[in-house]
Amino acid sequence: DARVTQTPRHKVTEMGQEVTMRCQPILGHNTVFWYRQTMMQGLELLAYFRNRAPLDDSGMPKDRFSAEMPDATLATLKIQPSEPRDSAVYFCASGFNQPQHFGDGTRLSIL
Amino acid sequence: ELKVEQNPLFLSMQEGKNYTIYCNYSTTSDRLYWYRQDPGKSLESLFVLLSNGAVKQEGRLMASLDTKARLSTLHITAAVHDLSATYFCAVDSDSNYQLIWGAGTKLIIKP
């Protein structure tokens, strides 16, 4: 079965460090989403792309987060500098219309 | 603003019992999705409901959609422990490709 692939699966780093998360969407999917999930806030949409163009990143803290899609097989989410409140599970999802298919997530811990 | 409300948010039940999770939404969307998330895992698409009156069934789970009432239900029949998970409903946000998510219903089924 085709799957959304996210790397790394786990990341532990110190406050102030740069964090880069990567996502390989399912081949043929033209929409890619980045979500963040925490116990307190639940599932939050951070940003998404359609045909590699960013459509909405209003859910992201602009001063420290950035999302890009350099080609159709790679989406990235960067945090610089990272803060403890960024600790969460970050999911990438892709789709061609709906439903969205989710990757296994990156579990991020900022110390 | 489009809102999606699930209830209950938490449900503890005995094996063998029946129960229903409700998903209300505030727009005229006629496309609704149910997802399942096991603890520490990703979100998995369960049902795609694309029109008024749509009903889908998989094993002990049955989902239905009433677009006039803006209501979807996820019915669990003769619950078994393996169905313990968090269930999310999500609704298409009209034309901008993203889904609007409910807060999730955490279901615990006790032997």
SS3 readout for chain B: CCCEEEECCEEEEECCCCEEEEEEECCCCCCEEEEEECCCCCEEEEEEECCCCCEEEECCEEEEEECCCCEEEEEECCCCHHHCEEEEEEEECCCCCCEEECCCEEEEEEC
Mean pLDDT of chain A: 95
Whole-number pLDDT of residue B95: 63
Residues of B in contact with A94 (CB under 8 A): none
Q: Do you know the residue count of chain B?
A: 111
Interface of B with A (CB under 8 A): 31, 33, 35, 41-45, 48, 88, 92, 96-99, 101, 103-104
Nearest to B96 among A55, A93, A101 (CB): A55
> Is the predicted pLDDT of residue A106 greater than 70, yes or no?
yes
Tokens at A101, concatenated: 């298919």
Report how far residue B36's alpha carbon sits from residue B93's, in angstroms, rounded to the nearest whole number: 20
> Is the predicted pLDDT of residue A98 greater than 90, yes or no?
no
A55 in reach of chain B (CB within 8 A): yes
Nearest to A43 among B33, B41, B101 (CB): B101
Q: List the single range of A11-15, A28-32, A101-105, B94-98 with lowest mean pLDDT.
A: B94-98
Whole-number pLDDT of residue B97: 78
**A63-71 long-range Cβ contacts below 8 angstroms, 24+ apart:** A67/A34, A69/A32
Report how far residue A108's alpha carbon sits from residue A86's, in angstroms, rounded to the nearest whole number: 8
Nearest to B97 among A55, A101, A104 (CB): A55
Size of interface A-B (CB pairs under 8 A): 40
A34 in reach of chain B (CB within 8 A): no
Nearest to A98 among B33, B41, B96 (CB): B33
pLDDT category of residue A96 using cuts at 50, 70 and 90: confident
Whole-number pLDDT of residue A26: 96
Report how far residue A96's alpha carbon sits from residue A88's, in angstroms, rounded to the nearest whole number: 26
| Average confidence (pLDDT) over A32-57 | 93
Report how far residue B64's alpha carbon sits from residue A84's, in angstroms, rounded to the nearest whole number: 41
Q: Do you know the residue count of chain A?
A: 111
φ and ψ at residue A76, rounded to 5 degrees: -125, 150
Residues of B in contact with A55 (CB under 8 A): 96-97
Taking 50 as the pLDDT cut, the residues of chain B under it are none
Whole-number pLDDT of residue B35: 98
Report how far residue A32's alpha carbon sits from residue A80's, in angstroms, rounded to the nearest whole number: 21
Mean pLDDT of chain B: 93
